Chains A and B, each alone.
Chain A
Amino acid sequence: MELKNDYLKASLLSRRSLLSVILLIGAVTGGNLWIHSGDPALGYARYTGYGFSIDYSQQMTFWESGLGGGPPSQSAGTVQFTYQDGTLEQYGVIWVKPGSMSTYIDQTAAGALDYVFASIDMSGTQISERGETRTMTREDRDIVYQTFGVEDSGFTIPGLIGAWYSEEAEKFMILYLIYVPDISQIEVASPELEQRWLGYLDAIEYQPTS
């Protein structure tokens, strides 16, 4: 491209200034990428505690408690994130130390699922159906998971739950998700349910607990 304007030739397209632009942009953007490499994305916040962290949208309300009431502890607890505006999405992480579960429950991931469902039942929430238990291996973790339905105002809201043991956190971890893209059709399970659940599963970071 031939330029008539000496001003442009001397500034924008001179090799030196173009190199300066590239270096400046590379330094600032590269520096930011490095500094913020572990940060949550814009509009997201990070929940950290009890041996794990997970990012959630700042549009979501967040709530934590002990399993079956009271405050959460290193032994057991739950954190739940909810978004509702035409779409309903609720996901939560439950953690249980193996010794905290009743001795008559298998100290396995499947047992942890049973323990969580029993706790939910005691809290008054009605679980109407539990799907077939399936297993998968994700990042060297053996995960047991199944679909479930929550009874609410005569509707059955579909969800997905899975449990695994975290060596880092030394706990059973349970992740559940209820996702209804259109709350006017609250009983219709989304084909994206499993994909979103896997997305949250991959988003969990683990830290050793003291």
Chain B
Amino acid sequence: MTTQVPKSDVRLSSRLQFIDFTRGLVMMIMAWDHVSGFWMAVHGGLEGIYPYRNPALDLTLFLARFVSHWCAPTFVFLSGVSLALSVHRRLSRGDNQMDISLHIIKRGLLLLVFEVLLVAPAFDLPYLYFGVIATIGVSLIIFSFGRRLPIWIILAASLIIILNHQWLDLGFIPMDVAWGHYLRRILHEPGFTWPPYFALYPVIPWVGVMGLGWVFGTFLQSSERERIMELKLPLAATGVTSIALFFLVRWMNGYGNLVRRWSNGILDWLYVSKYPPSIAFLLWTLGGACLFMALGLLIEERDWSRRNISGAIHTFGRVPLFFYLTHLWLYRLRLPGTPVPFYLDLWQTLSLWAVGLVVLWVLCARYERLKRRYPRFLQYI
């Protein structure tokens, strides 16, 4: 089965700035989550692995963590969008399918290497830790061949995975042997019980999110730019509907939750399973991503993309992998295995985050120039 993209298809030769904006925005928020994790005494996390929210988190600290939920789903979704745009651009340029697949596989493998060598040590986790970079890497490898399926099958499969993974039973894979334990952690059941076989971002639900991104990216590739600019309202409406459905699912307190809502308190409404991502979690976060994209289109339409803060956000979004790998070590500010020397309070951490973003802006802008000079050498980062 092949995708029949016409060779004359040369649309979208320039970047879609609203995609860069959305990616840059969530990467800034992600940087906040990581800097607070590195430097604050109390930090939320492991939602879903823990059936209860961290009691040490007051409303402010809870929300400080909660906003970061937008990051991983948007990041994975936009990876699918970028992959679709990149593949269709290469096909229209006349590249052959095998070369494209090999390129995607190489990129996926490189992400796995980065996870082992740069990401896991930054979090003081064992080298076998399977995080968001690893799950994107494996998903890319899956898409290196899965992309050739008809797009309606990819859409259906992605939604079926997202809506049904909570019933997936991998009980036939033994949990009491290392390989089986690790496989189940990587595929579907995140957890931290048997070092070093740690995983937080299992492939099976997340590949579905990337699939949705692929479908949206294919749709963008096939649309005229002026028509894309008209997506503001549909995206905003989708975002609002998705968030309304989040509240419906939480209110029903059954299917789609994974973590039960124990009370009517705001914190219990918002304590949703990220590991693995529940439907409630994805409704909230991908709904937010739609709203961010609508905002990005508005900024693109008003031509604010180069203005100060907006310009920085777009810069981050154009070099996401460089930003990701750099920000971890920039904010960590200490060698692997070295404990935190002291803790920062909320305002100090916010200040560190803001200063770090300025440094990252300079570094990302320089890296972007470098990448333009050596596009072939730096094509994978």
- Which residues from chain A sit less than 8 Å from chain B, CB to CB? 1-8, 11-12, 17-18, 20-21, 24-25, 28-29, 32-33, 35-36, 39, 41-43, 57, 59, 83, 85-87, 89, 181-182, 192, 195-196, 199
Contact = CB atoms under 8 A, between A and B. Distances in A.
Interface of B: 3-6, 9, 11, 48, 50-52, 54-56, 150-152, 155-156, 159-160, 163-164, 166-167, 215, 218-219, 221-224, 227, 230-231, 234, 254-255, 257-258, 260, 262-265, 268, 276
Contacts of B50: 59, 85
Contacts of A17: 150, 152
Given A181-B52, A182-B56, A195 B155 contact: no
Contact of A5 (B156, B164, B167, B221): B221
A43 B49 CA distance: 9
Nearest to B88: A5
26 contacts: A2-B223, A2-B224, A4-B222, A4-B224, A7-B3, A7-B6, A8-B222, A11-B151, A12-B155, A21-B159, A24-B160, A25-B160, A25-B163, A36-B167, A39-B167, A42-B167, A42-B258, A42-B276, A43-B48, A43-B51, A86-B56, A87-B55, A182-B56, A192-B262, A192-B263, A199-B262
B52 A12 contact: no
A182 B152 contact: no
A7 B152 contact: no
B224 A5 contact: no
Given A8-B151, A195-B262, A1 B56 contact: no
Contacts of A85: 50
A7 B52 contact: no
B219 A20 contact: no
A42 B221 contact: no
A87 B57 CA distance: 12
Contact of B258 (A8, A43, A89, A181): A43
A196 B262 contact: yes
A24 B51 contact: no
B191 to A, nearest CB: 10
A12 B56 contact: no
Contacts of A41: 166, 254, 257-258, 260
Contact of B223 (A4, A6, A83): A4
A32 B6 contact: no
A138 B53 CA distance: 28
Contacts, number: 106
Nearest to B222: A5
Given A20-B156, A59-B51, A196-B262, 7 more contacts: A1-B231, A24-B156, A29-B164, A36-B167, A41-B258, A59-B50, A199-B262
Nearest to B265: A192
A1 B234 CA distance: 10
B54 A86 contact: yes
A1 B151 contact: no
B52 A21 contact: no
Contact of B160 (A1, A28, A36): A28
B163 A29 contact: yes
A1 B11 CA distance: 16
B152 A18 contact: yes
A-B pairs with lowest CB-CB distance, top 7: A5-B222, A181-B55, A182-B55, A17-B152, A8-B222, A42-B166, A21-B156
Nearest to B155: A21
A12 B212 CA distance: 12
B222 A3 contact: yes
Contacts of B219: 3, 8, 12
A8 B219 CA distance: 7
Nearest to B262: A196
Nearest to B268: A192
Contacts of B167: 32, 35-36, 39, 42
A7 B50 CA distance: 45
A70 to B, nearest CB: 30
A66 to B, nearest CB: 28
Nearest to A39: B167
Contact of A1 (B48, B230, B260): B230
Contacts of A20: 152, 156
A36 B167 CA distance: 8
A39 B166 CA distance: 11
B173 to A, nearest CB: 16
Contacts of B276: 42
Nearest to B54: A86
Nearest to B221: A5
A86 B54 CA distance: 8
Nearest to B4: A7
A32 B165 CA distance: 10
